[in-house]
Structure 1
Amino acid sequence: MTRTGVILLSLGTALFVALLAWQGAGAVAATLAAAGWGLALVAAFHLLPLVVDAAAIAVLIARPASFADALRARWAGESVNSLLPAGQIGGPVLMARHLAQRGTPMHDAAAAITVSTTMQSVAQIAFALMGLTAFAAFATVKSASATHALHLAALGASVVLAVAVAAFFYAQQQGLFGRFSRLAGKLFGARGAMISASASRADAIDEAVRALYRRRGRIAATFALSFVGWVVGIGEVWFALAFIGHPVSWLDALLLESVGQAIRGAAFAIPGSLGAQEGGYLLLAPVVGLSPDAALALSLAKRARELALGLPGLVYLHWSERDWRRRRAPGLPLAD
């Protein structure tokens, strides 16, 4: 973990603790405890968007990878992104590696994960704007000042996401992996020789990425599936709040999920978006008539779901790596 990552994680943790202390950890815990076994059902419900997101990856992958491979890769990658201090980089890297270990050429696996991650971010921006539009058109304003703050936060988060996605897409078109490989070779001197030696493989990934973007049908399919995955996630918010005793309408759940995820996405540099997610829900709470302790309980319910699915995902990832190394013939390189 880099020094920057440590600093961001420390700041996120401090914000997380401060928000809990400000609202009263006991009151938040009591609200969350009201959900009881409902939290298990919330975790189970998340399997639906997980399956849809895996389908968004699968449409980009040529055989021999199967949908089951894409689903397991998505599960493992999401577990890493949620629970390990690797920002949002570790998950995609491990997803590509997982697919490569199951027969997909590495350049195709890395390209599929790169493109699907980009399209998922674009779909997230569209989802946030849809939530704002629907709320503005149909909702009854509960707090004018809170609604104004909401618009500023949502637009700010969307701009940050859009700039990051645009920069990432531009870098892909300019040969992101090949350039990074050669730069690393120069920066690390003798140790970088091994890195720069893999430049041809990195160039193959860049070409595979550009080739995928030319497959307009697949790009449209992965965008549409990613968008559906975000929409399905509304049910997680609706069920979580119903179980903790603070039910909201589907329109309010749409706003909480769409703008809340946009705020979390804009804080992608903070591991697990710790603190940012909680602050986002507190900002949205007065707009939908939700109490602060219920807003924090909602965030903690999502954190509990991440633990419930993420810890088994990390165990599976560890077992998968050990199994692959055991089956791998000595000296046999990873699929390329």
Structure 2
Amino acid sequence: MKRTALIMALVGIALFTAVLVWRGAADMASALAAAGWGLVVVAAWHVLPLIIDSHAWRILFERPRPGPWRIVWARWIGESINGLLPVAQVGGDVAKARLLVLRGWPGAPVGATVVVDTTLAVATQMVFALMGVAMLLALLDRPELAWALVAGIAVMATLVGLFYRLQRGGLFGGLAGLLHKLTGGTQALDFIGSGRELDRAIGAIYAQPMLTLRAAAWRLFGWLAGVGEVWLALYFLGAPVSLADALMLEALGQAVRGAAFAIPGALGVQEGGYVLLGSLIGLSPDTALALSLSKRVRELAFGIPGLVAWQLAEGRALQRPRRTKHSVQEH
């Protein structure tokens, strides 16, 4: 697994470098410099979808729920891990669950909220992507391109539906048994309890359809809030677009990024996607690449402090048992 992650990371770096060489790193730097302090505004906007997505996750917890800022903190760290490390977009979800468990929240219910939240995120992303396709159809006379996108979304939607059915059928109990055999009794996810407990906790959430729908609605709202980041970035880059154009770019750009989940940060793939999508509404390749790089700036601005916060949190967790042991010895 580590070798595969390293290979995918190298593929992403190679693609990213090739795109920069193609357009010229100096030209990209000039385009970003033109945005100036506007990049700070673009990065700051991300706080809004971060809070919205955190609220959608928090809804899934039983009362009493973790505090809102505790959830935002855990989600920020999980997002940082998924965005900057070769963890196939799932390592951050495991880490944010672990952070809450280390602070006293029961493992199986926390793990269940993460599984359901991830499922809702992918499902609502499909809806968001369809909105982008609708905008594309409204803006362009390219039905062949739209149908190709719809076909891809349909495949993903089928996989999401299958994942949901497996969850309802005791997926994690079966996986836990398999992992137990493969690892000789050692399991990396012991902190969330047994697979059977996780299955029961997931079922308890899905047994509340209105709660699940509410969380899904907030998740979709979070995707829509991300449109503001694209609109602001292009405004400060000197290539303002309509909200419809921004929605199309964000919805389909996120779909492209999601399809490249195995490559850390979708390096290179995201850039190529924005060049293609941007050309459909008249954006030059340089502007489209600058848009993608402005998102990279935001990812680094949020992600690097997030990784530092993660290490500090894990360090405190490691020291806690030692302090307890020493205090017992002293008495």
TM-score normalised to the size of structure 1?
0.89
2:240 maps to: 247
Q: Is the 8 A contact 1:157 1:262 kept in 2?
A: no
1:35 maps to: 35
Query: How far apart are the structure 2 equivalents of 1:125 and 1:15?
Result: 26
1:261: Cα distance to partner?
0.4
1:125 maps to: 126
Aligned residues: 322
1:325 maps to: 318
Q: Is the 8 A contact 1:158 1:266 kept in 2?
A: no
Which range moved further: 28-37 or 246-255? 28-37
Distance 1:197 1:101, change over 3 A: closer
Query: How far apart are the structure 2 equivalents of 1:97 and 1:165?
Result: 24
Which range moved further: 287-296 or 18-27? 18-27
1:236 maps to: 229
Secondary structure of the corresponding residue to residue 186 of structure 2? helix
1:161 maps to: 156
Unpaired segments ≥5 residues, structure 2? 327-331
Which of these residues, 254, 265, 269, is aligned with residue 276 of structure 1?
269
Q: Is the 8 A contact 1:28 1:296 kept in 2?
A: yes
1:80 maps to: 81
1:305 maps to: 298
1:207 maps to: 200
Query: How far apart are the structure 2 equivalents of 1:167 and 1:92?
Result: 20
Which range moved further: 106-115 or 209-218? 209-218
1:24 maps to: 24
| Identity percentage of aligned residues | 46
1:265: Cα distance to partner?
0.9
Alpha-carbon deviations, 1:165-199, whole Å to 9, x = none? 234323322323222222122223xxx22339959
Which of these residues, 254, 258, 264, is aligned with residue 265 of structure 1?
258
Query: How far apart are the structure 2 equivalents of 1:68 and 1:196?
Result: 27
1:160: Cα distance to partner?
4.5
1:61 maps to: 61
1:4: Cα distance to partner?
2.2
Query: How far apart are the structure 2 equivalents of 1:12 and 1:160?
Result: 24
1:303: Cα distance to partner?
0.6
For 2:2, give the aligned amino acid: T
Distance 1:207 1:275, change over 3 A: same
For 2:186, give the aligned amino acid: M
Q: Is the 8 A contact 1:157 1:266 kept in 2?
A: no
Distance 1:227 1:196, change over 3 A: closer
Distance 1:197 1:278, change over 3 A: closer
For 1:181, give the aligned amino acid: A
Which range moved further: 254-263 or 15-24? 15-24
Structure 1 residue 13 corresponds to structure 2 residue 17: no
For 1:67, give the aligned amino acid: P
Unpaired segments ≥5 residues, structure 1? 332-336
Which of these residues, 271, 289, 293, is aligned with residue 296 of structure 1?
289
1:64: Cα distance to partner?
4.5
1:334 maps to: none
Secondary structure of the corresponding residue to residue 130 of structure 1? helix
Which range moved further: 147-156 or 98-107? 147-156
1:57: Cα distance to partner?
0.5
Q: Is the 8 A contact 2:133 2:150 kept in 1?
A: no
Query: How far apart are the structure 2 equivalents of 1:330 and 1:182?
Result: 33
Query: How far apart are the structure 2 equivalents of 1:237 and 1:46?
Result: 10
For 1:292, give the aligned amino acid: P
Alpha-carbon deviations, 1:8-50, whole Å to 9, x = none? 2222222211122222222222111211111111111100000
Query: How far apart are the structure 2 equivalents of 1:302 and 1:164?
Result: 28
1:149: Cα distance to partner?
6.6
CA RMSD of aligned residues (A): 2.2
Q: Is the 8 A contact 1:181 1:196 kept in 2?
A: no
Structure 1 residue 314 corresponds to structure 2 residue 315: no
1:133: Cα distance to partner?
1.4
Distance 1:211 1:19, change over 3 A: same
Structure 1 residue 181 corresponds to structure 2 residue 182: no
Structure 1 residue 193 corresponds to structure 2 residue 185: yes
For 2:172, give the aligned amino acid: F
TM-score normalised to the size of structure 2?
0.91
Q: Is the 8 A contact 1:50 1:71 kept in 2?
A: yes
